[in-house]
Amino acid sequence: MTFGLIGVAALVQAAVLALIVGVGFSATTSLGHRLMGGQGFVVWAIEVGGDIAALVVMGGILGAWQ
């Protein structure tokens, strides 16, 4: 199966959109909670990194599936 058949362009576009949405919503909303809770920036980065990675994978799957 070649990349053209599975819609790589749609997959990449959906993954980039998910990355933007993940940073825009997930990262910004939880930053204040983590820093004010005294947990630090590293804990926030680890937690948000997992959330954003999951959103990028979900966006890629949905983009390829369309």
pLDDT at 3: 45
Mean pLDDT (the chain) is: 78
pLDDT at 8: 63
Residue 57 in any domain: the answer is yes
Q: Based on the structure, what is the number of domains in the chain?
A: 1
Q: Taking residues 28-56, report their average pLDDT.
A: 85
How is 11-25 classified by DSSP, letter by letter?
HHHHHHHHHHHIIII
Tens digit of each residue's pLDDT (9 = 90 or more) over 4-35: 555 567 778 878 888 888 888 888 888 888 88
Domain that holds residue 28: 6-65
Residue 1 in any domain: the answer is no
Question: Would the pLDDT of 62 be above 60?
Answer: yes
Residue 19 in any domain: the answer is yes
- 31, 44 in Cβ contact below 8 A? yes
pLDDT at 1: 38
Residue 32 in any domain: the answer is yes
